[in-house]
Amino acid sequence: MEAVKQINVGLLGLGTVGMGVVKIIDGHQEDLMKQTGNRIKVVKALVKDINKKRDWTRSEQLLTSDPWEILRDPEIDIIIEVMGNIEPTFDYLMYALKQGKHVVTANKDLIAMHGAELLAQAKESKCDLYFEESVAGGIPIIRALVEGFASDRITKLIGIVNGTTNYILSKMSEEGRPFEEMLVKAQELGYAEADPSSDIEGLDAARKMAILSNLAFHMEVHFDDVMLKGITQVTQEDIQFSKQLGYEIKLLGIAKLNDNQIEVSVQPTMINKEHPLAKVNGVFNAIYVYGEAVGETMFYGPGAGQLPTATAVVSDLVTVVKQMNLGVNGRGVIPPYRNKQLKSDDLIESSYFIRLKVVDEVGVLSLLTHPFADLRVSIQEVLQVPANEEGKAQLIIITHTTSKAQMNQLIEEINALDVVDHIYSIYPVEEGEAE
Amino acid sequence: MEAVKQINVGLLGLGTVGMGVVKIIDGHQEDLMKQTGNRIKVVKALVKDINKKRDWTRSEQLLTSDPWEILRDPEIDIIIEVMGNIEPTFDYLMYALKQGKHVVTANKDLIAMHGAELLAQAKESKCDLYFEESVAGGIPIIRALVEGFASDRITKLIGIVNGTTNYILSKMSEEGRPFEEMLVKAQELGYAEADPSSDIEGLDAARKMAILSNLAFHMEVHFDDVMLKGITQVTQEDIQFSKQLGYEIKLLGIAKLNDNQIEVSVQPTMINKEHPLAKVNGVFNAIYVYGEAVGETMFYGPGAGQLPTATAVVSDLVTVVKQMNLGVNGRGVIPPYRNKQLKSDDLIESSYFIRLKVVDEVGVLSLLTHPFADLRVSIQEVLQVPANEEGKAQLIIITHTTSKAQMNQLIEEINALDVVDHIYSIYPVEEGEAE
């Protein structure tokens, strides 16, 4: 009988996700053995403070506060990184890859910023670098993009990829309460951090969209390429009017490819309420994928949470171990092979929702629609309601498809009109049809 | 410069899907080359009649009506099977595998019936055997089950895996028209075959659920293990009452694992209309997966159609070619490693909807509820409406969770009551919660 080879795992970070990883590896020993033929064991875990009280029944000797004890240990085959941050994490993982250790990471900030360098080093060292968990927690979307749609040409992705903002926006829509209140509720429930800016400003979603666009379009898309707007300006009035017109407001990541040029954005967007994405509520994530051949598909699941996240990490780990047994690590990586070309503003198209305050007098609508006609932006729908102010009215306009360049000019011209008091808000509108 | 190796593909069948496969391989040459490093070419295609008129601009020499010209061609590396049927297809594929050819098949009937033998031969011949397309066309669900959730324990699958029946049921629900009429409509649109029995009797869905259960639970689940009921008995009245009570009727495939015992069924089922599966309409497919760690995830997409289907086939082809380059074909296969244990009827639990015709007189409800009390089946909801017949009433009862064994006995006892005229229908009710 052949001896069972043990695969030793070093864990960088033992917070919520790290504990979940240990729980799954220990709890599913038998299944993991069946699937890989190996015993998989976490042999060391990096923590900040060894003496901290934690729900940890295993030997204290597993814990270390010195990362080099793990990174330099020749017995450790695979590093699982769940400590977060860019530095010193990036240096640790580069070092690990250079030592020939495979890496599984849940760190989307790091992948969005240094993914290309890490992948290049992994390729050179013939090591695996997996990061399924970095986008949409429990949903195996990266695997689907890389393998499932390998033969298709993906032309559009629409994603709800941040659970915190989706929770806040769905609660605002359900309960009719303002942003600030729902943010506090999200913080109380542990869905939002004490400093929530990375979520509510859309940074987290933008990093994920950069990673997804990269894989979908085979271009090196960076965080800086993502047009970005957070949800802090979304008001209850915007939500009520959008509902009245048949839409929900969601923080959507949209990535589109047309004629080899791409656009990637993350911004609060009105989506047709019959679209499946409009019905994704709470902390759930969902990603719509349009492929030329396959048409529309959607992936839905938990975007965060200890066990969903840990599951994605351990599934990556299983893939690495299988590839170790086959001796084919580091070969599955296909670096981006297309030149990145970003669309200019005159090629980025959408319809828009515009809500503004105007002087309530005869002929206003006619004056207001002049710039639309001049710029050939056609109007789909107009709604006029009283404003909370004497002599003023609110106008809501939904346009047909127009370019971002034209929209910018239109807004400038509208703003210059004497009858226009204030532009409250502008949202792109997504009907969700394939392009 | 290294010469580019050409990979030769033999196609068994050149119907709609076969033509789609050729279209994608030819149309995406550059992408396929970037992804695999190889030129991939369909060199021969098996057809019934070489002289038949077809939309085929390539050289006629590619076509053959002799399967052995393909199966015995030593230059052909990979067989793509899209001809359907069990015989002679099974013999062809066994022969191909024995010759060391890799196989990609879209044939769910064959996989459901002979999957284990084909996989065993593939393993022995160190060949790949892929069948992503066999379930849910364009949705990469098999990849997700095999790899994405590799580290999780899947405890429940709920699937809408047959587009034809989902089209018929959604149309019945939307338009209020009877089954027979919507079946004809589905046939006119090409969604249903001239002989629709495989779809409407649930056979197709049962084959797919057998394949999915196999992969999810690591047990050798056969078609015969699936409890099966088609949609031919679903009436407009059932649909109207289910709506009134907050449900939609869908043909659901349900597979559950509890304490190492499984149940697999395909039957018309009432599902809470707030559940995402209730909103999957038309020919779309969707599969809900519950994992112990990941919680609930859903995959949604086209279940059929030339290009979605062909995409799944070609994505499998890309995987095979990548593995050829790595020299690791046939090693990814993990045969079922758990003993199959099917639940007995007293362990299969559900709530139920029962609709029956009773004599309309005082005390009927009391008489009727006796057997429920005796068998400890508790009632969740009762609705009484007039029947179309003098002196009769309709009763609709929704029970709380009970076992199938108890339900069978209950139905027998109810049937024996003098006041009960007729039991119109019985449906399991699925609230969709995780178990």
Q: How far is CA B60 from the centre of its chain?
A: 36
Confidence label for A148 from pLDDT (cuts 50, 70 and 90) = low
Quick check: A293 and B276 CB within 8 A?
Answer: no
CATH of the domain at A410: 3.30.70.260
Q: Which of B31, B300, B319 sits opposite A298 (nearest CB)?
A: B300
For residue B340, tell me if it sits in a domain: no
Q: Give the range with max mean pLDDT: A136-145, A287-296, A357-366.
A: A357-366
For residue A333, tell me if it sits in a domain: no
Q: Are B144 and B294 in contact (CB under 8 A)?
A: no
Q: How far is CA B369 from the centre of its chain?
A: 37
3-state secondary structure of B395: strand
Tally Cβ neighbours within 10 Å of residue A100. 13
Q: Are B18 and B67 in contact (CB under 8 A)?
A: no
Kindly report the pTM of this predicted structure.
0.80
Are A240 and A151 members of one domain? yes
Whether pLDDT at A333 is above 70: no
Are B158 and B92 members of one domain? no
Are B152 and B293 members of one domain? yes
**Per-residue pLDDT at A263:** 97
Which tops the pLDDT comparison, A105 or B2?
A105
Inter-axis angle of helices B404-416 and B364-374, nearest 10: 150
For residue A381, tell me if it sits in a domain: yes
Cα–Cα dist A312/A102, whole Å: 16
Q: Are B260 and B338 in contact (CB under 8 A)?
A: yes
Name the residue of chain B whose CA is nearest to A275's CA.
Answer: B279
Q: What residues have CB less than 8 Å from A118, skipping those under 6 apart? A: A90, A93, A94, A97, A103, A110, A111, A129
Whether pLDDT at B38 is above 70: yes
Are B116 and B177 members of one domain? no
For residue A336, tell me if it sits in a domain: no
Averaged pLDDT for residues B311-339: 81
Q: Which of B138, B294, B307 sits opposite A307 (nearest CB)?
A: B294
Are A103 and A170 members of one domain? no
**Per-residue pLDDT at A132:** 79
Are A133 and A146 members of one domain? no
Averaged pLDDT for residues A269-282: 90
Q: Residues of B with CB below 8 A from A326's CB? A: 326, 328, 331
Confidence label for B89 from pLDDT (cuts 50, 70 and 90) = very high
Name the residue of chain B whose CA is nearest to A34's CA.
Answer: B337
% of chain B with per-residue pLDDT over 70: 94
Q: Are A317 and A77 in contact (CB under 8 A)?
A: no
Task: Pick the last residue of a domain from B302, B337, B364.
Answer: B302
Q: Tell me, what DSSP letter sits at residue B148?
A: I
CATH of the domain at A21: 3.40.50.720
Quick check: B34 and A302 CB within 8 A?
Answer: no
Quick check: A328 and B328 CB within 8 A?
Answer: yes
For residue A342, tell me if it sits in a domain: no
CB pairs under 8 A between A and B: 172
Averaged pLDDT for residues B92-117: 92
% of chain A with per-residue pLDDT over 90: 58
Q: Are B46 and B64 in contact (CB under 8 A)?
A: yes
Domain assignment of residue A373, given as a range: 349-430
Are A298 and A225 members of one domain? yes
Are B104 and B167 members of one domain? no
Confidence label for B333 from pLDDT (cuts 50, 70 and 90) = low
Instruction: Count structural domains, chain A.
Output: 3
Catalytic site residue from A44, A108, A208, A343: A208
**Ordered DSSP codes for A210-279:** HHHHHHHHTS---GGGSEE--STT--HHHHHHHHHTTEEEEEEEEEEEETTEEEEEEEEEEEETTSGGGG
For residue A339, tell me if it sits in a domain: no
Are A155 and A284 members of one domain? yes
User: Model confidence over A232-247: pLDDT tens digits?
Assistant: 999 999 999 999 999 9
Q: Give the range with max mean pLDDT: B156-160, B214-218, B334-338.
A: B156-160
Whether pLDDT at A57 is above 70: no
Whether pLDDT at B174 is above 70: yes
A404 flagged as catalytic: no
Nearest of B185, B173, B258, B254 to residue B213 by alpha carbon: B254
Are A261 and A405 members of one domain? no
3-state secondary structure of B350: strand
For residue B23, tell me if it sits in a domain: yes
Average pLDDT value over all residues in chain B: 89
Whether pLDDT at A316 is above 60: yes
Structure tokens at A429: 């509108």
Quick check: A319 and B147 CB within 8 A?
Answer: yes
**Per-residue pLDDT at A435:** 40
Q: Which of A150, A299, A318 sits opposite B299 (nearest CB)?
A: A299
Catalytic site residue from B156, B208, B250, B256: B208
Are B262 and B276 members of one domain? yes
| Among the ranges given (A79-83, A295-299, B9-13), the one the predictor scored with the smallest mean pLDDT | A295-299
Q: Residues of B with CB below 8 A from A136's CB? A: none
Whether pLDDT at B112 is above 60: yes
For residue A341, tell me if it sits in a domain: no
Confidence label for B371 from pLDDT (cuts 50, 70 and 90) = very high
Are A371 and A313 members of one domain? no
Cα–Cα dist B395/B365, whole Å: 9
